[in-house]
Structure 1
């Protein structure tokens, strides 16, 4: 019984971190099985299983996921600005390629540049460790190569934010850059579900920011089908956890 109930911990772990490998998943199952062998923790495990089942039912059969998604989005009309900030997304470290979220953000940033909203963009010169592989190439450098391939010398001015690890470090670097150059308005480009935390982190530092969303490649924002709602659950849960952490640290 305990072993069966502990299996319910696996989808919960994957919701929080879908990149968990086989080892951590097996450890999670074994830990749940051992805890389930003791009466008090068995009841906790049983209650957790019921809550997981209720959560899945709420995601699949109610508007919960759409409500959660809408609560994360800050999307504003672009205006003339001094700088377009393209926030970092993810990397496929083995192939050295930008993940879909990074591509979506870069595409939107270039769209704003082509429309004449600002003459320059920032890219995040990341460190490999944040993607779990010290050999991972810099997201910003790979993105810059893509811009160069598309536009050559006719492309936007690119400014690198060095040694970027988090949205917080990106906000700090942009604040320092804006102050040093005497700039004012910034167009902040990120994916919709990330926009509330990102805009809040930048505004906390006194920056004049307009949050301009890219497309959302991680899930279908219409959330019409149960599969779409389940797919959206992981990024939404992680963003709400991120908001909590940022508030507790005073970054929002």
Structure 2
């Protein structure tokens, strides 16, 4: 065991490995939480047992990154999350919310991909209307963030004007679960049947499961994946995919524990 000063220096260095792990789990972590995570790891180095935990944890992180970069692990995990079905005639196209760039008030790439797919299905005549999620700013970490659905609707109007699809807003949306509940209420109220559910590939299994748990008749039609190449041939793409994969598997676990799947 190193002496205390050396141990603290080593703990400070090893704690830096916790920061990428924190960003993998939550990419929206700000500077304050990241510094807090680093300080917590460093202080853990004061304790002999804590230092061993930090050392082993850092080693496991390194092994995980190596497995992601150099093995087919990422591709196998991604394939387990995808539910992609052939589109059918439906009453409604549900475009699930993605992300927002709150500072400039623009749709993030995943939101654009989902909206593009929803409009593609509408143009092909699969359904006459689509839903957009009227989100609250807090879900993106900034109460001033504009509604994702309102920004998306403005984009639809700019593209198609009065000849565009009928847009139905789902109010006060925060999660996939709240979107599923809102759509379930909507189809029951209006007597609609089949729904085309549009989201990015790795989000599709959790999304379709949440809707079917409520009894909604959904067909899962995935959009493109704008954040990385779904073939996952390069180490860079496999690293880019790690964050959504971790979040989705944690999301599946959470939804199952809560009885939402």
TM-score normalised by length of structure 2: 0.95
The structure 1 residue matched to 2:194, chosen from 168, 180, 185, is: 185
Write the mapping of 1:104-115 to structure 2, written as runs, cut at 5 A.
Answer: 104-115=113-124
**2:237 corresponding residue in structure 1:** 228
> Where does residue 3 of structure 2 map in the other structure?
none
> Aligned partners of 2:191, 2:28: CA distance in 1, in Å?
41
Give unpaired runs (5+ residues) of structure 2. Answer: 1-9
Q: What's the counterpart of residue 48 of structure 2? A: 39
1:201 aligns with 2:210: yes
Instruction: Map Cα deviations across residues 69-117 of structure 1 (whole Å, 9 max, x no partner).
Output: 1011000000000100000111111111111111000000000000000
What corresponds to 1:56 in structure 2?
Answer: 65
Confirm or deny that 1:211 pairs with 2:211: no
For 1:11-26, list aligned pairs within 5 A: 11-26=20-35
SS of match in other structure, 1:34? helix
Greater displacement, 187-196 / 130-139: 130-139
Query: For 1:116, what is the secondary structure of its paired residue?
Result: coil
Identify the residue that residue 90 of structure 1 maps to in structure 2: 99
TM-superposed CA distance for 1:19, in Å, is 2.3
Deviation per CA, 1:181-236: give whole Å up to 9, x if none: 11110000000010000000000000110000000112111111111111110111
CA contact (8 A) 1:6 1:36 kept: no
Q: Which residue of 2 aligns with 1:239?
A: 248
Paired residue total: 252
CA distance in 2, matches of 1:162, 1:11: 34
Structure 2 CA distance for aligned equivalents of residues 147 and 16 of structure 1: 32
Return the alpha-carbon distance in structure 2 between the equivalents of residues 148 and 224 of structure 1: 38
For normalisation by structure 1, the TM-score amounts to: 0.98
Distance 1:29 1:127 in 2: 31
Q: Which residue of 2 aligns with 1:172?
A: 181
Task: Specify the SS of the correspondent of 2:172.
Answer: strand
Deviation at 1:21, TM superposition (A): 2.1
Q: State the alpha-carbon separation in 2 of the partners of residues 26 and 183 from structure 1.
A: 50
CA distance in 1 between counterparts of 2:186 and 2:197 reads 14
Other-structure match for 2:156: 147
The answer to whether structure 1 residue 128 and structure 2 residue 137 are counterparts is yes
Aligned partner of residue 163 in structure 1, secondary structure: strand
Contact 2:121–2:127 (CA under 8 A) maintained in structure 1: yes
Q: CA RMSD in A?
A: 0.8
Asked if structure 2 preserves the Cα contact closer than 8 Å seen for 1:128 and 1:138, the reply is: yes
Q: Unpaired segments of 5 or more residues in structure 1?
A: none
Cα distance in 2 for partners of 1:167, 1:100 equals 18
